[in-house]
Amino acid sequence: MTPLWPPGSVDCVTAGKPAQGAVVLHMRLNLITADPQKLGDSIKFIETEVRPQVDSQPGSLGTALYTNPEPGLAILESFWASDNAMAASEHHLGPTRRAAVERAAGTVSVERYQVPVFELEAPARGGAGLRLTRMDLEPAAVEDAVEAYGDTAVPWLADTAGFCSTLLLVDDQTGHAISETLWQNSEALAATRSVAAAVRVETVAATGCVIRAVEEYGLVSTSARKA
């Protein structure tokens, strides 16, 4: 399933901080660590059982599912129109999340973020490559960092061949943040590692953040849509 955003559309922000009154999406990110030999069964369960349940919840804006099969990693993201909708869904979706993890003989950690930056250059399909960069900021600096990311990183990315989209996820209480960039395929992902390194340097210089980790995944599917 492909994203429902039309090519070139931007949700929340094009560059800089969100406009006053703009709708800011919320996301729940589930990081699954699994037995690599059992990850496939868990992915099938997520596709057939978990995703339809998420999509049926009030305020749901769909899901995105990524995997790195060799070490047995998966990321399931669910998008929500509000923090209240995300919180209300937890009671209904918790059991299916546990069932997916049990099938994988693994563990899950759950993270919750706002999504103040989402720029879409082109639709992504299964096999697209995700680069996920974990960052830490001073909580008081989150708003300025959002603006700097839009002004610094987004233009660099938009001019790079194979670029599909970027999201910036933030927790303004803790200062934890994640940059996600999605590329047309694994070859485009690999070809942009040098550009990504330069963007990280510029982002650190502009925001004062600390880079904690860089991870890479492949897109399985997405049903995400804008508010």
The reported pLDDT for the residue numbered 23 is: 62
Q: What is the pTM of this model?
A: 0.88
Give phi and psi for 132, each to the nearest 5: -115, 120
Residue 22 has what pLDDT? 54
Which DSSP letter does residue 17 get?
S
Residue 51: CB partners within 8 Å, gap ≥ 6?
63, 65, 221, 223
Give pLDDT tens digits for 56-103: 999 999 999 999 999 999 999 999 999 999 999 988 888 888 899 999
CATH code: domain 24-222 is 3.30.70.100
pLDDT of amino acid 16: 40
Regions of the chain short of the pLDDT cut 70? 1-23, 227
Predicted confidence at residue 70, as pLDDT, reads 96
Output the average pLDDT for the chain. Answer: 88
**What residues contact 128, with CB distance under 8 A and at least 6 apart?**
164, 182, 183, 184, 185, 218, 219
Q: What pLDDT, on a 0 to 100 scale, did the predictor assign at position 91?
A: 86
pLDDT of residue 139: 95
